[in-house]
Amino acid sequence: MEHVSLDPDRLFPAEQRTRAVARELFALVEGVPIISPHGHVDPRILLDDVPYSDPATLLVSSDHYVTRLLHADGVPLDKLLGADPRDVWQLFCERWHLFAGTASGFWLRETLASVFGVDATPTPELYDVLAGKLAEPAFRPRALFDSFGIGVLATTDDPLDDLAPHVALLDDAGFGGRVIPTFRPDAYLDPAAPGWQARMQRLGASTYDGYIEAIEGRRAYFIARGAVSADHGVAHAVTVDLDRGDAVALFDRAMTGRATPAEAAAFRAHMLVESARMSVDDGLVMTVHAGVLRNHHTATRDAFGTDTGHDIPVATSFTENLRPLLQRFGTSEGFHLILFAVDESVWSRELAPLAGFYPSVYVGAPWWFLDAPDAILRFRAATTETAGFYRGSGFIDDTRAFMSIAARHATARRLDSGYLARLVVEGRLGMPEAERIAVDLVGDIPRRAFKL
Amino acid sequence: MEHVSLDPDRLFPAEQRTRAVARELFALVEGVPIISPHGHVDPRILLDDVPYSDPATLLVSSDHYVTRLLHADGVPLDKLLGADPRDVWQLFCERWHLFAGTASGFWLRETLASVFGVDATPTPELYDVLAGKLAEPAFRPRALFDSFGIGVLATTDDPLDDLAPHVALLDDAGFGGRVIPTFRPDAYLDPAAPGWQARMQRLGASTYDGYIEAIEGRRAYFIARGAVSADHGVAHAVTVDLDRGDAVALFDRAMTGRATPAEAAAFRAHMLVESARMSVDDGLVMTVHAGVLRNHHTATRDAFGTDTGHDIPVATSFTENLRPLLQRFGTSEGFHLILFAVDESVWSRELAPLAGFYPSVYVGAPWWFLDAPDAILRFRAATTETAGFYRGSGFIDDTRAFMSIAARHATARRLDSGYLARLVVEGRLGMPEAERIAVDLVGDIPRRAFKL
Amino acid sequence: MEHVSLDPDRLFPAEQRTRAVARELFALVEGVPIISPHGHVDPRILLDDVPYSDPATLLVSSDHYVTRLLHADGVPLDKLLGADPRDVWQLFCERWHLFAGTASGFWLRETLASVFGVDATPTPELYDVLAGKLAEPAFRPRALFDSFGIGVLATTDDPLDDLAPHVALLDDAGFGGRVIPTFRPDAYLDPAAPGWQARMQRLGASTYDGYIEAIEGRRAYFIARGAVSADHGVAHAVTVDLDRGDAVALFDRAMTGRATPAEAAAFRAHMLVESARMSVDDGLVMTVHAGVLRNHHTATRDAFGTDTGHDIPVATSFTENLRPLLQRFGTSEGFHLILFAVDESVWSRELAPLAGFYPSVYVGAPWWFLDAPDAILRFRAATTETAGFYRGSGFIDDTRAFMSIAARHATARRLDSGYLARLVVEGRLGMPEAERIAVDLVGDIPRRAFKL
């Protein structure tokens, strides 16, 4: 991978002594293999190892963090999704200033510089330069997997996925990387999700017991193919511990389409507790991503599908919502529950206090909009004083933008180095402690949290 | 305007290189004409151009940000409102230490220094010095309008106001400034507002259709006299998209005083959507100031009126509340919706994500209690990483304290310069980009957001 | 007290000039006697002045801030509570890294260094060193009270406590310290609290009037023995101003066990207003600690009791909840209402605005999880710009860990010095003002707020 003239001290605090300490700490972790225990990369790109088609599709159209801001500036989504890549690139270049100061802008610049060796404002002329590079072998996914130094990469998968790409990659003597699936059952746990009944049919579930057994069976299938975690995305992390009779009755009502919205919500809340019970039994780490109203603009969802930039956070709470689940499983041996939020007010208020008591609870890394330089520092400041460093999940990139993975992890490592450096210079941490923590943050801590 | 020995680097970050960059950026914007697209200055002071009566009325009694803190320290409001100005000034001087570290204290010191040339703790003796200056021609409102370098000043006006002062100012060959009205219809949109029925009568509205037409007519009247925006102040930004029949029925019930509180609330929420519809049609920028419980202490309101220092913020949410409005008009051509909050937890959680997708939504500048040095920096840090700089409203001073306008804009410019400087020194922004953004923040950005 | 080689500039900002100013300010307050107007130290330890048994019980087992994190790391509480102290110490030493970056870790290191003269990572060998010191006269509670320089220490007491230790300490010629009780009536004000009816019996209350009279009588008893404040701990600070008839009816229903949860809640909310009324009458400062769900994990509470590390914060609001109380007593002569929160989003949104208007309302210092270095700085930044320095309570340590009191106050003083230094270097405060404020923050401000 080429390197160009980006500021070697970027993201480090300005103050000179702190910066010097940050530099030392970053040097310890810069080259450590990347653990990416939660993300949305399609495993087929690694299986097929096909060259990327063009820079616009790769860096703009396929990244809804990027199309989002172009749309906000007035570009209709049909000029970005399915349009001519050169036109897309042109629109993007004209609006590069929109990305100044944003996390997406920083990653784009990092990626252009560290992957493509281009430290410059994107221009129309750059299109052909980047397209040329993408045609080179070094820019194919497997080569990047190696040059990024990815140790583990988790994907996110439908419970009924056969995981063929994962198995094929495992069997592929030409690929040495570790690519593991993640069990993502949301659409199977929520009777109000469109298509739930059809999904039950595909699952072969006609009774509550059969349903539970089928879910357990699919989890076992995932575990056998390397999965270490089950991921749950919810608007609100409400949990309800129903007794069996009530659960059976609600399931039956849902199967015949008679469940009211409140009953569907109760069943979904029950299934979050039931998922925890399964995790206690089978050992899958349970991750919960909470607090997002998906598809805020229905017309856009209808025209362009989901993940088109209008999933918007809402106020989040865990203390009361998760209590039924934690009453039952909070201290269960081996249970891991990693909580992610996009409402930063819960960091100091709820996440760190919960993780500072329950052996099962881990503070999830800053997620989504909060996976950004200043937000990452706010996260550390908000959670460390209550929960320390060792009750966290380690960094997760949560991305479908494979090309940006190295940039994202490097960003997080620089910021953690800067945060630790501040504690050292403020006399709150000895340098040997800071060094150990810096290294643990990219190794032992995520490995322990995700049972890797 | 005289200048005295205030620290020329005030409000810039302490770190030397960052400070140097901030100084360079501020130099680019310090002298740029002020755009004040939302505030509460009475246009008559400019029309009549009468000298200010005295320093106590000007700087203390007429500013509820200032009387508020004196009241909290135990000074009854009747000793501040309508009392002898020298006594008021005396009380203020004795309690100057209360303002240490506050935004109001900073603006007062800035104003005293930059307008009056006095860089000292307020003393009783200063009263006559200031009174003497206020009698000079240079301290009359029009002269200050010029010396402040105000390019545009928006007032806030009742829908039935005839806007005579605005028209007279426009016609006044001796005044070259641009003073524009703002349509503020709250009291006409909320059937629960005291006097709503009488207001309907004055509006000539006896049916729902007549009511809508009358509102539209007044908006047109304002637009013809220079208005560019309609402002909405609400405790909660709840929106409901009623069908016509329901709206008519609620209006009729409200007109006969039979609407329940819930029905009045539904009608008010509907009228927020209807106001958006009007903005789509007539082009007025829609601003929403949300999250304040007005007149918290009823006895004070009854004795001294509104705007007496006890409007207190409450938890705010936009994502769910504004969804009905944004479903209909979020992507409407030319629609501008600027959202202001006094609950800073919505900045990263809702405002920036909404403005980062909807072309209509703009992130309103830090408002009220949050228009303060550290809060302004928290605002930039909370919103920029998600929405960038170009989805914002630009600074608004929102003040009735005309004398403080230059100080407030200078404060915001210094802080933005410092924020940009930090991004430069942290390697997140190039200097040319930072220079462009600094200039745009006081020019193109507010001009575009407010259609100026 | 011995001193060792801790960084003398610890907790000060890194930037050199700011650090130099912080150092100057801290020098002014480092030796000022400690005012501790709210805490949970058992007065018997000072009355009996018995040597501490051992370092593990003192520093680990008896501090649920510490056991909490060990429990989160997988140590069952029965290995920490009631276990062999040497085993506890061993477990603690093995997990010292958990405390890196936490407030508890900082206080522990401060205490070890400044009290015991040990600036090192805790090791098993240290146990005997510390145990040896604890056997020395200088390490007995009264000697520490003197060497810590404690001017006033408030305890927290049950309304029916006879306060014999307080009286005995007052009468003890050999002890010159001021140790005052605090009236803590929660369990008497909430009919839903377990044992409420039995408590009414002990109180001799069979009618509402008798109940009110009994509470007033116990307050008078406390006041006669030095109490200056009554403390209220609530999950939500809801207040309701019932008329007498409704209050009597609810009391009667509660006494016969027929009150519904909603009725019990209404009565509790009424009693908060009634407690304010009593404070207006008898002058006790009213403190409210709001926003904690106590005993989140029932099984742990059942096995190990309360205060075992799982009281978890929830979203808090004051503006609407306290309005009924403030409508009646917000401007009452001499009424002091100090509000503490563990949800930092209320700091800028509600606490500072309320304290910036109501003469009765004081902004409580950062509490519990938020009594930590970065959180203290966030607190100052969030509240000062709106409410200044003089509407605050001054620092409270809120601790049962007597040994840590000096460390906690020193921590707060260092951070306030650093905050003030930043304002000085940013040209927002003159050095003489900053010096006055630094001194007032540890003297006049808490003395005035708590009527000491």
CA distance C279 to chain A (A): 30
B417-444 pLDDT, tens digit per residue, is 999 999 999 999 999 999 999 999 999 9
Contact C71 A389 (CB under 8 A): no
Question: DSSP for A92-161?
Answer: HHHTGGGGTTSHHHHHHHHHHHHTT---S---TTHHHHHHHHHTSGGGSHHHHHHHHTEEEEE--B-TT-
Sign for the CA dihedral angle at B209, B214, B219, B225 comes to positive
Per-residue pLDDT tens over the stretch A94-142? 999 999 999 999 999 999 999 999 987 899 999 999 999 999 999 999 9
Q: Which residues of chain B carry a pLDDT beneath 70?
A: 1-5
**pLDDT tens-place string over residues C68-108:** 999 999 999 999 999 999 999 999 999 999 999 999 999 99
Q: What is the pLDDT of residue C48?
A: 96
Res C5: pLDDT: 64
CB contact under 8 A, A369 and B348: yes
Q: To the nearest whole percent, how much of chain A has pLDDT over 70? A: 99
Encode pLDDT of C133-171 as tens digits: 999 999 999 999 999 999 999 999 999 999 999 999 999
In total, chain B counts a number of residues equal to 452
A382-416 per-position pLDDT tens digit = 999 999 999 999 999 999 999 999 999 999 999 99
Write down the pLDDT at residue B119. 81
Instruction: Note whether B74 and C410 are within 8 A (CB).
Output: no
Å from A31 to nearest chain B CA? 21
Concatenated DSSP letters of C267-329: HHHHHHHHHHHHHHHH-PEEEEEE-EE--S-HHHHHHH-SSSS--EE-----TTTTHHHHHHH
Q: Does A384 touch chain C (CB under 8 A)?
A: yes
Contact partners of B by the rule of 3+ C-beta pairs under 8 A?
Answer: A, C
- The closest alpha carbon to A144, from A123, A115, A171, belongs to A115
B381-408 pLDDT, tens digit per residue, is: 999 999 999 999 999 999 999 999 999 9
C260 touches chain B (CB under 8 A): no
Q: For residue A225, is pLDDT > 50?
A: yes
Instruction: Go through A324-346 and write b for each residue having 16 or more CB atoms within 10 A of its CB, e for each that does not.
Output: bbbbbbbbbeebbbbbbbbbbbb
CA distance B179 to chain A (A): 29
Q: Is ipTM over 0.85?
A: yes
CA A89 from chain centre, in angstroms, equals 26
What pLDDT, on the 0 to 100 scale, is given for residue A2? 39
pLDDT for the residue numbered B346: 98
Residue of chain B nearest C345, judged by CA positions: B345
pLDDT in tens, C321-371: 999 999 999 999 999 999 999 999 999 999 999 999 999 999 999 999 999
Q: Are C71 and A317 in contact (CB < 8 Å)?
A: no
Facing C369 at nearest CB: one of A352, A358, A425? A352
Determine the distance in angstroms separating the CA of B380 from the nearest CA of chain C, rounded to an integer: 15
Cα–Cα nearest to C158, from C250, C211, C221, C236: C221
How near does any CA of chain B get to the CA of C436, in Å?
A: 9
Q: How many CA atoms lie within 13 A of C159 on its CB side?
A: 25
* Contact between B73 and C357 using a beta-carbon 8 Å cutoff: no
- Cβ contact B373:B105 at 8 Å: no
> B350: which chain A residues are within 8 Å (Cβ-Cβ)?
312-314
Reading the block at residue C33, the tokens are 């006697």
What pLDDT, on the 0 to 100 scale, is given for residue C2? 39
d(CA B341, CA B318): 9
Alpha-carbon span C423 to C79, nearest angstrom: 47
**In chain C, positions 32-51, which contact chain A (CB-CB < 8 Å)?**
none
The answer to whether residue B201 neighbours chain A at the CB level (below 8 Å) is no
pTM of the full structure: 0.97
First to last CA, chain C: 27
Q: How many angstroms separate the CA of residue B267 from the nearest CA in chain C?
A: 23
Q: Sheet holding A361-363: strands in order across?
A: A229-234, A285-290, A337-341, A361-363
Quote the mean pLDDT of chain A: 96
Report the alpha-carbon distance of residue C34 to residue B414 in Å, rounded. 39
Both tokens assigned to C448: 């005035």
Query: C10–A354: do the CB atoms touch at under 8 Å?
Result: no
Domains of chain A, CATH where assigned: 16-49+141-449 (3.20.20.140), 51-139 (1.10.2020.10)
Nearest CA to CA, how far is A332 from chain B (Å)? Answer: 33
The single-letter DSSP state of residue A366 is P
Low-confidence ranges of chain C (pLDDT < 50): 1-4
Distance CA A244, CA A258 (A): 19
Cα–Cα distance list, B20 to B6, B25, B50, C73, C168 (Å): 17, 9, 42, 47, 63
pLDDT of residue C84: 97
Residue C50 is classified by DSSP as P
Under an 8 A CB cutoff, do A388 and C98 touch?
A: yes
What tens digit of pLDDT does each residue of A232-259 get?
999 999 999 999 999 999 999 999 999 9
Closest residue on chain C to B13 (Cα): C426
Give the residue from C325, C327, C329, C348 with the most B CB atoms within 10 Å of its CB, the best one to mutate. C348
Q: Do C433 and B97 touch (CB under 8 A)?
A: yes
Structural Rg of chain C based on CA atoms: 22
Strand partners, B233: B289
Interface of B with A in 298-357 (CB under 8 A): 315, 317, 319-320, 323, 326-327, 330-331, 345, 348-350, 352-357
Backbone angles phi, psi at A231, to 5 degrees: -110, 140
Pair type for strands A312-313 and A292-293: antiparallel
Q: Does B164 touch chain C (CB under 8 A)?
A: no
Across the interface, whether the CB atoms of B103 and C425 are under 8 A apart is answered: no
Distance from CA of C308 to the nearest CA of A (A): 9
Chain B residues with CB inside 8 Å of A378's CB? 381
B1, B114 in Cβ contact below 8 A? yes
Whether residues B69 and C320 touch (CB distance < 8 A) is answered with: no
Interface contact A371, partner B, CB < 8 A: no
Residues 68-87 of B with CB under 8 A from C: 68-69, 71-74
Among A15, A319, A359, whose Cβ lies nearest the Cβ of C72? Answer: A359
* Residue A382 near chain B (CB below 8 Å): no
